[in-house]
């Protein structure tokens, strides 16, 4: 039976994902903030501490401890900041603090009984001294003597004494959180990143010639100059010829068609080989190193599927589903058909060998210097496989980042995030009205979702050209970009198509591009004056300089009197200057209105428009402030909210 003298309850600890079944997400550069409901019977004062330690490090097996602070309504909070990647565990411990209770009540008691009260406090100090090591015991002994002396009341209020007593309090009846939740701490790029997707074969400066890794290398200064962190490449493997798709996804391609990079595998090799049209393995390794020199990194697309020409099809037919006539079933997502792709059969009796082989694909590219992967359609593979594979990769390469490309049901997307995917695509492209943007972004940045799901906002992809972008032209692309880059700490664009405002659909109302790079080589003119390069460069610079935009948890929406104006703020964990973003969601007309900024100061304060340049004086104490945005000039204000201005003397 539990000791009946234990009087404290610890419950509702967060972050805790599915009662500790999965780790929460953390990253270097941000504290792990832990909260819990902590309470006891009666009116005694409590003390609570947060215990934490890395998992799997014998040299750091001891618990570290930080104090927790009372917030409101029996809610307590503490935090720790990890110094390296890996898994951490934590616990909350709390107890009735008899000395703190005594000190709290001392001021209320009759001064005539001061000597007796001080003697009671001195005895509590004596008991703590017997629990403390020699140095602290000696200090506590002196404090006990002082409490019994002429200045006892002054000594009772000593912060140094209170700190010592908290350190050596009586924890014999302490309560602890029922579980030890875990946090997977990743590097900063898992939390804050800007992705630029580009097809290497479309980087040639010569019209009519397909690009190579060497051509892409010459474009690195351009991409880095816009401020991107991650250069994401679609599959770079050999492309099958059987059922090769033609331009604009025609079923029958010609001998001159280059095919879809997602139809992986040919006589030249499979998932561990490179399309010879792009270059050699040495060329790729050189590209990886050159990308790092420009302050970026390569992300590779991992698509676990095969063309009919893939060596796996010949060597392991048991890894694929077969029709009654013995032919292998190709991929379908009705009404879409992918005759050039065979999905794996994860229910094969040879599933262990299949798992091992697919794991080896990740490990092979890690050995080539790649530590970031965009995983294609993970929701069509077993959850158990991902939990196993991602953990095995991290055992050897703890800094690997995985982006989940799963446009599917919310619970499935969330499960993949819990299983270990660092970031996840979202429904952002289809959230277009102010209320649905606010509702969705709020869902992603509040518990419980924010504890395990990191959104990556993409206004377009090779498969997604929304009707909004098709009809809205440059102004619509500009405002959607600002939303993506400021609502989320991580975002991405399908490179040249987006920045050059390439918005021609294959069929009006459909989301497929005309002349899609998925099926043909494109040659881009990066000097087009209508492009978004300048806006992209400016916003990425703001994201780099403003710590508030490098986090998701602090997103808060503001009230406006014009529904076409979407306003929100972000703050940084270190308390640096908040950022306030106001976006005009009307790409055709100028919109104006009033925005209510939360009370930051009673006086006026300065707001600097980091995107457009002007400096304004706004009123404090939660006052409403006027804004006007003309889409012909700018899609948004991005304000840095400064310190309060002193009133004139």
Structure tokens at 396: 């050897």
Active site residue 405: yes
Structure tokens at 615: 């400096």
| Alpha carbon distance 306, 584 (integer Å) | 44
Are the C-beta atoms of 24 and 451 separated by less than 8 Å?
yes
Question: What φ, ψ does residue 429 adopt, rounded to 5°?
Answer: -55, -30
Structure tokens at 503: 């918005």
With b for 16 or more beta-carbon neighbours within 10 A and e for fewer, the 397-416 pattern comes to ebbbbbbbbbbeeeeebbbb
Torsion of CA 467, 470, 476, 481, to 10 degrees: 80
Quote the strand ranges of 385-508, DSSP E.
401-405, 423-425, 455-456, 490-494
Backbone dihedral region for residue 394 (phi beyond 0: left; psi -120 to 50: alpha; all else: beta): alpha
Catalytic residue among 35, 197, 309, 405: 405
Structure tokens at 276: 């010879």
| Alpha carbon distance 643, 526 (integer Å) | 40
Are the C-beta atoms of 342 and 270 separated by less than 8 Å?
no
Are the C-beta atoms of 222 and 187 separated by less than 8 Å?
no
| Alpha carbon distance 275, 288 (integer Å) | 16
- Three-state SS for 605? strand
User: In the sheet where 591-596 sits, what is the strand order?
Assistant: 559-560, 591-596, 624-629
Report angle CA 553, 544, 632 to the nearest 5 degrees: 95
Structure tokens at 529: 């004056």
| Alpha carbon distance 607, 463 (integer Å) | 39
With b for 16 or more beta-carbon neighbours within 10 A and e for fewer, the 525-536 pattern comes to eeeeeebbbebb
How many CA atoms does the CB half-sphere of 36 hold within 13 Å? 31
Pairing of strands 230-233, 193-197: parallel
| Alpha carbon distance 277, 271 (integer Å) | 15
Structure tokens at 114: 């001061």
Catalytic residue among 215, 217, 376, 609: 376
Are the C-beta atoms of 468 and 432 separated by less than 8 Å?
yes
Active site residue 376: yes
- ω before 448 within 30° of 0 (cis)? yes
| Local structure of residue 538 (DSSP, 8 states) | H
| Alpha carbon distance 416, 507 (integer Å) | 33
Active site residues: 376, 405
């Amino acid at each position: 039976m539990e000791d009946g003298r234990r009087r404290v309850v610890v419950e509702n600890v967060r972050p805790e994902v599915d009662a500790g079944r999965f780790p929460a997400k953390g990253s270097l550069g941000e504290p792990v903030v832990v909260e819990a409901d902590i309470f006891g019977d009666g009116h005694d004062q409590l003390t609570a501490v947060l215990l934490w330690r890395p998992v799997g490090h014998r040299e750091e097996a001891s618990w570290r401890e930080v104090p927790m602070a009372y917030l409101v309504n029996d809610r307590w909070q503490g935090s720790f900041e990890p110094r390296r990647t890996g898994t951490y565990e934590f616990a909350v411990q709390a107890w009735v603090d008899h000395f703190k209770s005594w000190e709290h009540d001392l001021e209320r008691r009759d001064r005539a009984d001061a000597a007796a009260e001080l003697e009671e406090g001195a005895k509590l100090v004596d008991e703590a001294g017997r629990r403390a090591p020699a140095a602290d015991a000696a200090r506590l002994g002196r404090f006990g003597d002082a409490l019994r002396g002429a200045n006892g009341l002054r000594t009772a209020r000593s912060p140094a004494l209170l700190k010592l007593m908290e350190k050596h309090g009586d924890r014999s009846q302490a309560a602890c959180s029922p579980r030890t939740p875990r946090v997977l701490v990743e590097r900063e790029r898992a939390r804050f990143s800007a992705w630029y997707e580009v097809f290497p074969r479309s980087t040639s400066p010569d019209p009519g010639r397909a690009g190579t890794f060497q051509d892409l290398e010459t474009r690195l200064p351009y991409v880095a100059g816009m401020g991107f962190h991650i250069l994401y490449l679609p599959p770079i493997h050999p492309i099958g010829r059987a059922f090769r798709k033609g331009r604009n996804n025609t079923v029958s391609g010609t001998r001159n068609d280059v095919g879809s990079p997602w139809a992986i595998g040919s006589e030249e090799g499979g998932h561990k080989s490179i399309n010879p049209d792009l270059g050699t393995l040495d060329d790729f390794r050189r590209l990886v190193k050159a990308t790092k020199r420009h302050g970026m990194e390569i992300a590779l697309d991992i698509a676990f599927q095969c063309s009919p020409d893939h060596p796996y099809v010949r060597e392991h037919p048991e890894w694929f589903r077969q029709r009654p006539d013995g032919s292998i079933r190709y991929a379908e997502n009705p009404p879409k058909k992918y005759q050039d792709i065979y999905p794996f059969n994860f229910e094969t009796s040879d599933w262990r060998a299949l798992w091992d082989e697919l794991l080896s694909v990740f490990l092979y590219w890690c050995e080539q210097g790649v530590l970031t992967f965009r995983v294609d359609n993970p929701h069509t593979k077993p959850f158990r496989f991902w939990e196993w594979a991602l953990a095995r990769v991290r055992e050897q390469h703890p800094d690997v980042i995985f982006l989940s490309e799963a446009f599917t049901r919310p619970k499935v997307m969330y499960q993949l995030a819990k299983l270990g995917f660092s970031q996840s695509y979202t429904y952002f492209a289809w959230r277009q009205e102010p209320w649905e943007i606010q509702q969705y972004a709020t869902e992603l940045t509040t518990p419980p979702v924010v504890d395990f799901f990191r959104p990556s906002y993409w206004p377009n992809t090779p498969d997604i050209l929304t009707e909004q972008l098709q009809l809205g032209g440059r102004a619509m692309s500009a405002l959607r970009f600002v939303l993506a880059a400021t609502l989320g700490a991580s975002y991405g664009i399908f490179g040249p198509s987006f920045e050059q405002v390439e918005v021609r659909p294959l069929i009006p109302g459909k989301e497929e591009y005309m002349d899609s790079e998925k099926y043909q080589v494109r040659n881009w003119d990066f000097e087009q004056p209508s492009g978004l390069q300048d806006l992209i460069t400016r916003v990425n610079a703001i994201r780099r300089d403003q710590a508030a935009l490098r986090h998701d948890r602090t997103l808060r929406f503001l009230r406006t009197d014009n529904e076409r104006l979407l306003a929100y703020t972000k703050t940084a964990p270190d308390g640096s200057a908040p950022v306030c973003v106001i976006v005009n969601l009307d790409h055709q007309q100028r919109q104006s209105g009033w925005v209510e900024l939360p009370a930051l100061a009673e006086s006026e304060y300065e707001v600097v428009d980091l995107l457009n340049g002007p400096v304004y004086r706004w009123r404090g104490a939660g006052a409403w402030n006027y804004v006007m945005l003309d889409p012909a000039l700018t899609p948004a204000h991005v304000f840095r909210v400064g310190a309060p201005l002193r009133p004139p003397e």
